[in-house]
Structure 1
Amino acid sequence: MEDFVNLTDFINTTSAKETKVPPYSERPETYVVPVVFAIIFIVGVVGNGTLVLIFARHRTMRNVPNTHIFSLALGDLLVILSCVPFTSTIYTFESWPYGELICKLSETTKDVSIGVSVFTLTALSADRFFAIVDPMRKLYSSIGGRGATRCTVFIAAAIWGVALLCALPAAISSHIREFKDGNKTLFKACYPFPTEFGMFYPRTVIMAKFLFYYAIPLSIVAVFYSLMARHLILSTRNMPGEMQGQVRQIRARKKVAKTVLTFVVVFAVCFFPHHLFMLWFYFHPRAQEYYNAFWHYFRIIGFCLSFINSCINPIALYCVSGTFRKHFDRYLFCCLKQGGVRRGRSSQRRTGTRKGWDSTSVPAQHSTLRRHDPAEITLTTFMNGTDKNAAI
């Protein structure tokens, strides 16, 4: 954990000469950060695990955008299971207690997960652009539903391959570094930068991560969404009445685009403080001199937010997608809903007996109405994958 080790090195050397550093037992982050990471672990496993289950059990959910969302969930699960339990304690122990293998594993999976997330969000934005902008619809219609999904699976696999390649430096160079004061070992830390490379190597890695894991992908996403917004504004002007079917399709695709945009905004907010701190700490010539309580807690907030991103996507998807919300409710709240249904049926029987109603007549009538509701038919069509590019 490069941010942890540099701060610890700073506290035990430069800063300790001028200020009294409180012991770990007196620092609030010693107790707050493990609690935050425990919440991240529980919410992340349940949320992303449910997303994977929904994708695996429901064939109608296996469309183009949902394939990318499935890939996002797998990447988040990877970092939550292999990294979060260990990094949650770096503010609790003075030295890294897990050995070099766990050090390499946690650093590598963290980089893989970040790469999968940001590259997948870029691919999702491109997919929304191709689905919405007129000239590229021909490409989708020529590929077809199943062909488009297979193409998306290939893209997702390529994204994982690129993310693994980008994580190779962490897998190779991460090691347990001993920080000493003369012959006395002060502490041991999981350190991703070989010391023999000097300061040039960590600065290069940090700048590369900022550019390829943050600035460049978000810039590409911004271009896609700017072009989409321009196209949608122009396409909705003076649209004739007979194009209402196309209007519904555009609205459905706009809804998916808004979902993707929500993921992008969440990612940008969660990783901005971390990147800002790392750039400041490594590139500002007087960073150690200016380091104070503000930067200390800013860094901790950025550290936590970067992992919160791994558990927040299912929450965001639950809030913005009605289709996924129904599946989440089915799997997560089925016991509560079944209890409510039993109580409702019991109450309905008692009410029906008193008033002389047939307890099945109202649901049957409701079902008949719904079969002839055009809005419901349209929604069912989208949910069943008729428009492979519009359904989430």
Structure 2
Amino acid sequence: MENITMAFNCTLDEDNCTEEAYMPYSARPETYILPAVFSFILIIGVTGNGILVLTILRHANMRNVPNTYVLSLALGDMLVIVTCVPFTITVYVLDSWPFGLLLCKVSECAKDVSIGVSVFTLTALSADRFFAIVDPMRKLHTAGTGRRATRFTSCIAALIWCLAAICALPATFSYIRFFRVNKDVTFKTCYPFPEEFGPNYPKIVLLCRFIVYYFLPLTIIGVFYLSMASHLVQSTRNIPGEMQGQVKQIKARKKVAKMVLAFVIIFAICFLPQHVFMLWFYNYPDAQKDYNSFWHLFRIVGFCLAFANSCINPIALYLVSGSFRKYFKR
């Protein structure tokens, strides 16, 4: 739905249309810039996530609980890169959706599934780090050790994919909608909000997405990390000097926690602009009238950041994880 012209005063079933200024795609700078940006995201995303998946699968000592979640993240990123990015490139080159109804539904569903997998996996990772640092005996009792813990985590990851698929069900209602900009210009786009569901349907869906995919998970993650930080401050004061083994163990867990925090911060930054724009556009009464070059640029930047999130995680992991960096160089 990203190629919708954001100012239109009429639809196909209206006879009286006011003339709207329409800039042809050939005259828009994003027509030439964004395909290059998305091509870069496609190449980096497929390469980075592909190497990440192969690294975890090929090396047995990389197959632990945190990396099982990281593997799930990488697969979710690969899903959105392969099923959405190639189609999105043409959206900014052609004024109408050229791929038909099936790919419209697949693209929208894959995008929502990927977002769900990302944020739910980050929440699970944060919970895992919380129990590993704050209450390791409870985590040991719940998940066991070694292969048992990894199998337990794989089950959680599978449940996360199922939950993400359920949350993506509204995207299955996506359809090809025709819009009219003025008397002479019409186009069709992949649109996720059926008109027969009423004018409040987009508002409800977007608010639910913001709560389920952004506000609620990040709030839970924030609580985990604040509790974790408080526990680490107290434990550092209380650990006797001779318990060097425990100190090393805590340091190792802190490194993993920092890696997860880096993923969370990246996700929060990448998806906030898109949520802000969509909530503003569908809830502010004068949004179509006030849509200007600032909001146009803000929308495009937010859209690019949301897709860029799918290729940043392997780079962040390379920077914060020495073990992954070692295997990556091999």
Q: Please say whether Structure 1 and Structure 2 have the same fold, judged by a TM-score greater than 0.5.
A: yes
Q: CA deviation at 1:138?
A: 3.4
The DSSP-based 3-state class of the residue aligned with 2:93 is: coil
Aligned pair in 2 of structure 1 residues 141, 42: CA closer, same or farther (>3 Å)? same
The two structures, once aligned, show a CA RMSD in angstroms of 1.9
Matched, 1:293 2:293: yes
Structure whose CA Rg is larger: 1
The DSSP-based 3-state class of the residue aligned with 1:120 is: helix
Q: CA deviation at 1:209?
A: 0.5
Matched, 1:225 2:222: no
Structure 2 residue aligned with 1:215: 215
Q: CA deviation at 1:243?
A: 1.0
Aligned pair in 2 of structure 1 residues 296, 11: CA closer, same or farther (>3 Å)? farther
- In 1, the alpha carbon distance for the partners of 2:181 and 2:271 equals 34
- In 1, the alpha carbon distance for the partners of 2:67 and 2:183 equals 56
- Opposite residue 244 of structure 1, the aligned amino acid is Q
Matched, 1:22 2:23: yes
1:10 pairs with 7, 10, 25, which one?
7
- In 2, the alpha carbon distance for the partners of 1:273 and 1:9 equals 17
Q: Structure 2 matches for 1:94-105, cutoff 5 A?
A: 94-105=95-106
- In 1, the alpha carbon distance for the partners of 2:182 and 2:218 equals 45
- In 1, the alpha carbon distance for the partners of 2:117 and 2:183 equals 42
Structure 1 residue aligned with 2:190: 190
Structure 2 residue aligned with 1:271: 271
- Opposite residue 259 of structure 2, the aligned amino acid is T
Q: CA deviation at 1:100?
A: 0.8
Aligned pair in 2 of structure 1 residues 181, 224: CA closer, same or farther (>3 Å)? closer
TM-score normalised over the length of structure 2: 0.94
**2:56/2:63 contact within 8 Å kept:** yes
The DSSP-based 3-state class of the residue aligned with 2:298 is: helix
**1:178/1:185 contact within 8 Å kept:** no
**1:273/1:299 contact within 8 Å kept:** yes
Aligned pair in 2 of structure 1 residues 195, 250: CA closer, same or farther (>3 Å)? same
**2:8/2:180 contact within 8 Å kept:** no
Structure 1 residue aligned with 2:281: 281
Structure 1 residue aligned with 2:325: 325
- In 2, the alpha carbon distance for the partners of 1:181 and 1:59 equals 57
Aligned pair in 2 of structure 1 residues 322, 181: CA closer, same or farther (>3 Å)? closer
Aligned pair in 2 of structure 1 residues 103, 204: CA closer, same or farther (>3 Å)? same
Structure 1 residue aligned with 2:120: 119
Aligned pair in 2 of structure 1 residues 328, 264: CA closer, same or farther (>3 Å)? same
Aligned pair in 2 of structure 1 residues 299, 48: CA closer, same or farther (>3 Å)? same
**1:9/1:179 contact within 8 Å kept:** no
Structure 2 residue aligned with 1:40: 41
- Opposite residue 102 of structure 1, the aligned amino acid is L
Structure 1 runs (4+) deviating above 3 angstroms are: 11-14, 16-21, 180-185
Q: Structure 2 matches for 1:135-150, cutoff 5 A?
A: 136-140=136-140, 143-150=144-151
1:176-198, Cα deviation, whole Å (9 max, x unpaired): 11224799771111011111112
**1:170/1:192 contact within 8 Å kept:** yes
The DSSP-based 3-state class of the residue aligned with 2:285 is: coil
- In 1, the alpha carbon distance for the partners of 2:180 and 2:240 equals 76
Structure 2 residue aligned with 1:88: 89
Structure 2 residue aligned with 1:312: 312
- Opposite residue 4 of structure 1, the aligned amino acid is N
Q: CA deviation at 1:327?
A: 1.2
- Opposite residue 114 of structure 1, the aligned amino acid is I
Q: CA deviation at 1:239?
A: 2.1
**2:176/2:191 contact within 8 Å kept:** yes
**2:42/2:85 contact within 8 Å kept:** yes
Q: CA deviation at 1:158?
A: 0.1
**2:49/2:77 contact within 8 Å kept:** yes
TM-score normalised over the length of structure 1: 0.79
- In 1, the alpha carbon distance for the partners of 2:3 and 2:261 equals 31
**1:11/1:21 contact within 8 Å kept:** no
- In 2, the alpha carbon distance for the partners of 1:201 and 1:315 equals 38
Q: What are structure 2's unaligned runs of at least 5 residues?
A: 12-16
Number of residue pairs matched by the alignment:
324
The DSSP-based 3-state class of the residue aligned with 1:88 is: helix
Structure 2 residue aligned with 1:361: none
- Opposite residue 112 of structure 2, the aligned amino acid is D
- Opposite residue 152 of structure 2, the aligned amino acid is C
* Identical amino acids, percent of aligned pairs: 63
The DSSP-based 3-state class of the residue aligned with 2:237 is: coil
Q: What are structure 1's unaligned runs of at least 5 residues?
A: 331-392
- Opposite residue 261 of structure 2, the aligned amino acid is L
- In 1, the alpha carbon distance for the partners of 2:184 and 2:22 equals 19
- In 1, the alpha carbon distance for the partners of 2:264 and 2:225 equals 11
Structure 1 residue aligned with 2:65: 64
1:72-131, Cα deviation, whole Å (9 max, x unpaired): 000000111111100122121110011111111100100000000000000000000010
The DSSP-based 3-state class of the residue aligned with 2:243 is: helix
